[in-house]
Structure 1
Amino acid sequence: MDVGKATPIVSVKPIVLPAPDRGVDVRVRVSAPVTGHDLPIVVLSHGFGSSLDGYGPLADYWAAHGFVVIQPTHLDSRTLNIPPDDPRTPRIWRFRVEDMKRVLDQLDLLEAAVPGLAGRTDRDRIAAAGHSFGGQTAGNLLGLRVIDPETKQGEDLSDARIKAGVLFATAGLGGADLSPFAAEHFPFMNPSFADMATPALVVAGDQDDSPLTVRGPDWMTDPYFLSPGDKSLLTLFGAEHSLGGIPGYEAKETTDENPGQVALIQRVTAAYLRHALGIEESSWQQEQKALRDSPLGRLDVK
């Protein structure tokens, strides 16, 4: 598979986006190839507790293969150390979505902060990606709705600027599928995928046995099976929640370190993004063919 040769990248952090309604400004990292024009954009939402410094195996690879990768630090980051009883905590999930939209609103500022990047992005080719909690955040931009437990309604927070998504280890249905702990502490884990129509690749580990659900690893495939439109599902054999090690090169939360699977994820996601954003098709077709007999994982497309 060929998504192009890796090129040197530049990464700038922190770029600060003013956010007076948030209590603290949004700190952002931007990574981009040093050459090339009409570069597509990926806005990457980190998992609970991480920050703009996480997910190097994804951000570096995507940037080296032609994408501008933008990583905001959300309020739940350990770097901010907001206590559980903070009044913003019940709306943490919503602040995350607002962070992503703020990034999209401030692309001029972000481009200008990276030497040599201004004028080199393609604003018509933007994708959202996220791992774990970040998967739900990215999903909101694709049409996922968080259902209020009392009103049974979910607000449409989708964004037409987002043309595709990649959801890693993303939570499935709420309600009876949640563990008692999750039901008590995370009421926002009550998604509906019925309106998540934007094309997306869902990545799940078949050993991702989350304490947040009573169902088992198949819970993480709900975003694929329960959403309409063009969707793909990459199932990684033997992978747990860190999917072989995508949260970072030395992330302590990685319990299933597998460099081969991380390399597979890098190639497949880059190929998928090039396909879904209308850049080129051949690398995605080659990855589908290669995965028919792979010991590392399986790819389903609907």
Structure 2
Amino acid sequence: MNAMRRAVRSMLLIGALVGVVMVGLVGHAGSYLFGFDVPDVAGAAEPPDQAIGHAAAGPHRVGVRRIGADEAPVAMTAWYPAVDTAAEEPAMRYSYSLTVLGPRATTALATYPGTARLGAEADLDGGPYPLVVLSAGFAITPDSYAWLAEHLASHGFVVVAPQHEETLNPSDLWRSAVDRPAAVAATRTYVKMAADPGGDLAGLVDPNTVGILGHSYGGYTALAAGGARVDPDAFTASCDRARGDDDPIVFLCDALEPRIDDVAAASTTPPAPVDAIVSLAGDAAMFGESGLAEVTAPLLVMGGTADRDSPFAWTSRLAFDSSSSPRKVEVALEGAEHFIFTGDCDRARRIVRLLRTGFCDDPGWDRERARAVVRHYVTAFLLAELTGAAKAEEALIAPEAPMGVGVRSSRAQGVGRRNQRRLAADL
């Protein structure tokens, strides 16, 4: 399956949830099944592998801010390094949610604890910090990725996630393909303005050192924001082959093909340059090989080889093989499925557990170990490209892959773009 089937499966889940509530009116089952419970753990979590050292939290405390649509072009959430006194405030608890009935009508599948403190004082001593724009999956809320955003903030990044204005509706996929890169551009414009002297983010963030990170349709967004160009002819040809092979990509084809020319027409303006791109199971088929060849920024792609929603061959593998970046890494989680990158499920809806939807379970991986692998590679990549950290670079040039992880690395000799600019300025 791909984005279309993801949406259909999610809609079936919501329908089931609503049905349970209806049943509850008669038999009180709804209040039980729709409530939260701690999911069962199939055995103890595997200990961290020695090869995933960047999975450990960084030296910074973490703060979080909510920036409303009345303050910025789009509503967004920011995670950032905070001062030690932030520990005096209560820690966040996040909701792993979908937007169902409208852009602001969310349905929580699960909740999980964080470490960030809301409104904590920013640690400006080490700033300004590189900017990472995080794009969530289709109709998934940014808080569903707080586990990763907090980790990056602890390592000295400011992570800003726009709230994409979309609803869980397959017919909205083409419109989201247009709106999402625009939302990323608007987010960057706002951050740049807020980073000016006297602004709310002054001294905290460096808006000129930028990484784009996204999962699923957010991975598409990251690639588009990094220069990938939609190629209608290549996409149509791929869809024709897919229909002949009964490939899962046909669901995305059915959703996008009727409007693919509109999507391409809306993406003719080149995006602002970026310094790093991270695509987690990111939809890439609409770009084709020629469209992905426009990507020259350093690139990290990660995906599960058992992903039936965004198949590995149409996402991570296609982007890695087709991009023109001389500095790129591909990480394959052997046997993992699509939602391995989403939120924790410390307390999940009982019906989510019963239906085995994949939102909170993965047959091939312990989710905590998978998140450790994701934290390691994403952090190492962004540290190497946005800060020039030598230890992080070593983890990418000659990676010692953990068990169950396949890594391909094409890292041309040199330094990250941030250091390239610094060296040029010194000449």
CA RMSD between the two structures: 3.1
Q: Which residue of 1 aligns with 2:219?
A: 135
Number of positions where the alignment pairs a residue of Structure 1 with one of Structure 2: 269
Residues 136, 49 of structure 1: alpha-carbon distance in 2 compared, 3 angstrom cutoff: same
> Alpha-carbon deviation of 1:284?
3.0
Instruction: Select 2:371's aligned residue among 240, 250, 262.
Output: 262
Secondary structure class of the residue paired with 1:254: coil
Is the radius of gyration larger for structure 1 or structure 2? 2
Decide whether the 8 Å contact of 2:304 with 2:312 is kept in 1.
Answer: yes
Secondary structure class of the residue paired with 2:284: coil
Unmatched segments (≥5 aa) in structure 1:
20-24, 175-187
Do residues 223 (structure 1) and 223 (structure 2) align? no
Instruction: Select 2:293's aligned residue among 191, 194, 219.
Output: 194
Decide whether the 8 Å contact of 2:177 with 2:263 is kept in 1.
Answer: no
What is the TM-score of this pair, normalised by structure 1? 0.78
Q: Which residue of 2 aligns with 1:283?
A: 392
Aligned ranges for residues 158-173 of structure 1 at < 5 Å? 158-173=270-285
Give % identity.
Answer: 25
> Alpha-carbon deviation of 1:77?
4.6
Secondary structure class of the residue paired with 2:338: coil
Distance of 1:287 and 1:232 partners within structure 2? 7
Aligned ranges for residues 90-109 of structure 1 at < 5 Å? 90-108=174-192
Decide whether the 8 Å contact of 1:291 with 1:297 is kept in 2.
Answer: no
Instruction: Select 2:331's aligned residue among 230, 234, 241.
Output: 234
Q: Which residue of 2 aligns with 1:181?
A: none
Secondary structure class of the residue paired with 1:11: strand
> Alpha-carbon deviation of 1:55?
0.3
Distance of 2:293 and 2:180 partners within structure 1? 21
Tell me the alpha carbon deviations over residues 238-288 of structure 1, each in whole angstroms, 9 at most, x when there is no partner. 211123xx3112276233152112111102111100111243121231355
Do residues 51 (structure 1) and 141 (structure 2) align? yes
Distance of 1:144 and 1:74 partners within structure 2? 20
Distance of 2:132 and 2:74 partners within structure 1? 17
> Alpha-carbon deviation of 1:56?
1.4
Do residues 67 (structure 1) and 176 (structure 2) align? no
Tell me the alpha carbon deviations over residues 154-173 of structure 1, each in whole angstroms, 9 at most, x when there is no partner. 64454334211100001232
Q: Which residue of 2 aligns with 1:122?
A: 206
Per chain length, whose mean CA-contact separation is higher, i.e. which structure has more relative contact order (CA < 8 Å, sep 6+)?
2
Distance of 1:261 and 1:6 partners within structure 2? 22
Task: Specify the code of the residue in structure 2 equivalent to 1:260.
Answer: R
Distance of 2:67 and 2:392 partners within structure 1? 33
Higher helix proportion, which one? Answer: 2
Distance of 2:180 and 2:131 partners within structure 1? 18
Residues 161, 151 of structure 1: alpha-carbon distance in 2 compared, 3 angstrom cutoff: closer
Do residues 247 (structure 1) and 342 (structure 2) align? yes
> Alpha-carbon deviation of 1:110?
5.1
Decide whether the 8 Å contact of 2:344 with 2:360 is kept in 1.
Answer: no
Decide whether the 8 Å contact of 2:330 with 2:409 is kept in 1.
Answer: yes
> Alpha-carbon deviation of 1:16?
2.2
Residues 118, 272 of structure 1: alpha-carbon distance in 2 compared, 3 angstrom cutoff: same
Q: Which residue of 1 aligns with 2:127?
A: 37
Secondary structure class of the residue paired with 2:181: helix
Task: Specify the code of the residue in structure 2 equivalent to 1:28.
Answer: M
Residues 160, 84 of structure 1: alpha-carbon distance in 2 compared, 3 angstrom cutoff: closer
Distance of 1:203 and 1:39 partners within structure 2? 24
Secondary structure class of the residue paired with 1:162: coil
Decide whether the 8 Å contact of 2:194 with 2:200 is kept in 1.
Answer: no
Q: Which residue of 1 aligns with 2:406?
A: 298
Q: Which residue of 2 aligns with 1:13?
A: 66
Decide whether the 8 Å contact of 1:29 with 1:71 is kept in 2.
Answer: yes
The 10-residue stretch of structure 1 (129-138 or 115-124) with the greater mean CA deviation from structure 2: 115-124
> Alpha-carbon deviation of 1:41?
0.7
Unmatched segments (≥5 aa) in structure 2:
1-52, 83-122, 233-259, 353-358, 411-427
Secondary structure class of the residue paired with 1:26: coil
Distance of 1:46 and 1:189 partners within structure 2? 22
> Alpha-carbon deviation of 1:190?
10
> Alpha-carbon deviation of 1:18?
6.4
> Alpha-carbon deviation of 1:197?
1.6
